[in-house]
């Protein structure tokens, strides 16, 4: 996959950088049986209509593609039919057609191509796109779509370009280096998919204009230092004397302040905290 730059024919194209989408094989034609329209936008409002999250609203209408995060069709071989764009996530998705005729979408890893065979379960080999138990994955392998609890479904390393690495096994736990550089233990009975997530250049894309953010459902954001003291702890001040220590609207320090609960149950599974 590569990035595409544009000639500055208009102000919005001057800085725009986008994906060339050459890895996508189907143009906006999702599998109808795997699409649902229940992905209703909230506009940042809760169930009583009160705005609880600012700067959310509008955006293009989207249909939700049902993704198979559990990969529980063990021992049944599937064939990659298409690689598609998904408006609900940063990675590409792949349509898999299994031997029994069932179709499912999965997160497409890097290197997965149309026609390739994939499998999940104990019989699967450590090849790109196959889902295996952490007890069977060779040490040093790059993995993604990792379960935190057996049978829960993929919870970690699901966004574009992300991956973790299996470094060792200790008893009933596998030791993984996470995308955040954190080193933690996960039960070896959890599943993970071989390879890194597709679309690794996503973080290098440049929108080029404010309107493209509006298409994504993001509204303009007001800087805290431009607010009044009644609206934000960093608001107010005469001249250039505004600001103060970086903190949230509720007064919580924003840089370097640890917010993780000290007695959290999963702390015992973390061997090394992420690097600052």
Number of structural domains found in the chain: 1
Backbone φ, ψ for residue 212 (5° rounding):
-70, -30
Band of residue 30 on the pLDDT scale cut at 50, 70, 90: very high
DSSP SS3 for 19: strand
- pLDDT on residue 57: 95
- Residue 130 burial (CB count, 10 A): 22
- Residue 154 burial (CB count, 10 A): 23
- pLDDT on residue 139: 97
How far apart are the C-alpha atoms of 205 and 1, rounded to whole Å? 12
Domain membership of residue 193 (yes or no) is yes
Q: What is the pLDDT of residues 51-89, one digit of tens each?
A: 999 999 999 999 999 999 999 999 999 999 999 999 999
Backbone φ, ψ for residue 240 (5° rounding):
-100, 15
Domain membership of residue 244 (yes or no) is no
Domain hosting residue 59, numbered range: 3-203+264-272
Domain membership of residue 258 (yes or no) is no
Q: What is the pLDDT of residues 143-198, one digit of tens each?
A: 999 999 999 999 999 999 999 999 999 999 999 999 999 999 999 999 999 999 99
Domain membership of residue 214 (yes or no) is no
β 154-156/173-177 pair status: unpaired
- pLDDT on residue 1: 65
Backbone φ, ψ for residue 57 (5° rounding):
160, 160
Cβ contacts of 192 within 8 Å, gap of 6 or more:
131, 132, 134, 137, 143, 144, 145, 146, 147, 154, 164, 166
Judge whether residue 275 has pLDDT over 90: no
Domain membership of residue 251 (yes or no) is no
Judge whether residue 200 has pLDDT over 90: yes
How far apart are the C-alpha atoms of 96 and 116, rounded to whole Å? 10
Round the average pLDDT of the chain to a whole number and report it: 94
- The helix or strand, by DSSP H or E, that contains position 144, with its residue range, turns out to be strand 142-144
- pLDDT on residue 206: 97
Domain membership of residue 136 (yes or no) is yes
- pLDDT on residue 38: 73
pTM for the model: 0.91
Band of residue 138 on the pLDDT scale cut at 50, 70, 90: very high
Domain membership of residue 65 (yes or no) is yes
CATH code: domain of residue 128: 2.40.50.140
Cβ contacts of 164 within 8 Å, gap of 6 or more:
142, 143, 144, 146, 156, 157, 176, 177, 178, 179, 192
Q: What is the pLDDT of residues 216-252, one digit of tens each?
A: 999 999 999 999 999 999 999 988 778 889 999 999 9
Domain membership of residue 115 (yes or no) is yes
Please compute the mean of the pLDDT values over residues 259-268 and round it to a whole number.
Answer: 93
Band of residue 27 on the pLDDT scale cut at 50, 70, 90: confident
């Amino acid at each position: 996959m590569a990035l595409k730059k544009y000639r500055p024919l208009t102000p919005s194209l001057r800085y725009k950088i986008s994906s060339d989408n050459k890895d996508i094989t189907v143009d906006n034609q999702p599998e109808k049986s795997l699409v649902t329209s229940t992905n209703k936008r909230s506009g940042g409002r809760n169930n009583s209509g009160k705005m609880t999250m600012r700067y959310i609203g509008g955006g293009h209408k989207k249909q939700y593609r049902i993704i198979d995060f559990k990969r529980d069709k063990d021992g049944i071989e599937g064939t990659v039919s298409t690689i598609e764009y998904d408006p609900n996530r940063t990675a590409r998705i792949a349509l898999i057609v299994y031997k029994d005729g069932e179709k499912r979408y999965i997160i497409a890893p890097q290197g997965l191509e149309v026609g390739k065979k994939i499998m999940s379960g104990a019989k699967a080999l450590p090849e790109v796109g196959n889902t295996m138990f952490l007890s069977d994955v060779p040490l040093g392998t790059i993995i993604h779509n990792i379960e935190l609890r057996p049978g829960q479904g993929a919870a970690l390393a699901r966004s574009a370009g992300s991956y973790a690495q299996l470094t060792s096994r200790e008893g009933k736990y596998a030791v993984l280096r996470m995308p955040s550089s954190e080193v933690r233990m996960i039960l070896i009975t959890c599943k993970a998919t071989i390879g890194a997530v597709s679309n690794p250049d996503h973080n290098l894309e440049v929108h080029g204009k404010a309107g493209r953010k509006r298409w994504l459902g993001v509204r303009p954001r007001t800087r805290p230092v431009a607010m009044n003291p009644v609206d934000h702890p960093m608001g107010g001040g005469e001249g250039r004397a505004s600001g103060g220590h970086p903190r949230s609207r509720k007064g919580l320090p924003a840089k370097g302040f640890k917010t993780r609960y000290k007695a959290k149950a999963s702390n015992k599974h973390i061997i090394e905290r992420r690097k600052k």
